[in-house]
Amino acid sequence: MVIVGAALFMSASTDDAFETSKQLEVFTAVLKQVQTSYVEDVGAERAVGSAIKGMLKELDPYTVYYPEDQIEDVRLLQTGEYGGVGCVIQKIEKDIYISELNQIGPAKKAGIQVGDILKKVDDTKIEDFSISEVSSLLKGTPDSEVSVVVERAGTEQSFVFNRANIKTKAVPFYGMRSDGIGYLYLDGFTASAASEVRDALLELKKENPKGIIFDLRGNGGGLLMAAVKIVSYFSDTKDTIVSTRGRSGKIQDVYYKTGKTLFPDLPLAVLVDNRSASASEIVAGAIQDLDRGVVLGEKSFGKGLVQQIRQLPFGAQMKVTVAKYYTPSGRCIQKVNYDRDENGKRTEKAAQQQFSTNNGRPVVDGDGVHPDSTLTDEYYPEFVAAMGAKGLDLQFAATLLDEMETEEPKSFTLNDSQWEKFKDFLKANDFTFESLGERRLKKLGEATSELDYLENEDIEALLEIVKVRKGLVLQDQDMEIKEYLEDFLVQKHFGIEGTLARGLQNDIQINTAASILLDADTMNELLGVK
């Protein structure tokens, strides 16, 4: 089926009507043989679905087919809304856990809790199901009934309730810092994103901020026009904000400022990380190229492709890549090359080119948006990553969330009793982990027979030292582990709003961004102002 899909792709790309018709006839014949002659029954939906997936796999990861039963996923992409139960799920080993709950969603109202293990959705047992498969089962038309069986503390419990229209906020949090810097976090570029950003900025404007931090960390993108409008709130430029080019590099559209500028010259910092993609990179790239503000954080993801939603027969839809976008300086930040030659072979990625911002600062294409200043995130011990991989942080959170009902997210700290409870929890679960240092030492130990002046006993002695030090991690790195647990518990109990409110004053990157905004000399240096 994959080969058939690839053949269809190649013939369509040459725009040869006869060849397309020929390949479709061949495909129909193959489908008929599979359905009538194959040793096992293969339904038409399964067979054609596999062919479609095979064809699209030859393109890029962003061209996606959505059958009718996955249309809620498309609605979520476009509007930030979907029909479902209001939860985030996480797979730990073979189990699917409830990781987060919408504070006003039907799952939470029905009594489902963070840390519950999903066992059954309606009549379907979900053992060995993937995250996406379980997510599809939970989503559905608002007001439709769903039954869920979960395991909690070793006992199964059943819940029956109706799905609802779940709406996620594009701007879940904004606020003023004590130093006079305004802060705004954008979660996604949905249909309401521009209006939500505008409303938040107007509220911040009433406080006469000394600068604005626009946080796009973790923002995977969305609608292009939302990005254009948002850039317009910060810049009154008459230059191009973004342009798109389709097949053969032909310019499709050029987008200029739209809407009233709210902060034409207030010091601005845009925070990005390696998950900031697509529309996030349009905003960051435009702000950087126009020298309107500084981009801080980590290099962004590097997605310079534009998708559109197309309607298909029988309620299906398709998200298809139609163009590449270019920032004001003329660069495309697309990191991975998906272009293919006439034989279907992926072509080599072109060498990076250098472009210039309005102030003459050098920027490059083909590798995401590089920050004007790199900001590192908080460091957590290996212990934390190992614990998270086993889902023990989530399971511990489930035992403690009831104690947080009267807590404030900004000021929550683990008390001594809760810290002891955490240590007892780890002991009860026999938690152990192998550190990176141990793995490397063991590898070196395997090679000692080929090395001079080094014996396996030497490695064993070092491993013993690591073992002793690792056993003291809860004592030696208690502050870092407590800080992680406090942030994690706030996230699970209060959701993204509580997490962002907590980070407003103690997030390292936000604090650094604020200090940069308040230092005119540093801002001028980063922006190339002479």
Catalytic residue ranges: 278, 289, 303
CA distance 508 to 529: 26
Which residues fall within 8 angstroms of residue 181, CB to CB, at 6 or more apart? 209, 210, 211, 212, 213, 513, 514, 517, 518
CA distance 78 to 188: 10
CA distance 97 to 393: 12
Secondary structure (3-state) at 321:
strand
Packing angle between helix 416-428 and helix 478-506, nearest 10 degrees? 130
C-alpha atoms less than 13 angstroms from C-alpha of 181 in its C-beta half-sphere? 23
Which residues fall within 8 angstroms of residue 466, CB to CB, at 6 or more apart? 435, 437, 438, 441
- The DSSP secondary-structure symbol of 264 reads S
CA distance 77 to 320: 13
CA distance 185 to 271: 9
Q: CA distances (Å), 253 to each of 108, 242, 281, 328, in order?
A: 44, 9, 18, 13
Of 121, 56, 117, the closest CA to residue 84 belongs to: 121
Say which amino acid occupies 96. Answer: I
Q: CA distances (Å), 200 to each of 32, 184, 193, 404, 516, in order?
A: 57, 7, 11, 29, 22
Of 403, 428, 430, the closest CA to residue 485 belongs to: 403
CA distance 387 to 42: 42
Which residues fall within 8 angstroms of residue 52, CB to CB, at 6 or more apart? 5, 65
The two beta strands, 164-167 and 155-162, are unpaired
Residue 164: what are its φ and ψ, rounded to 5°?
-140, 170
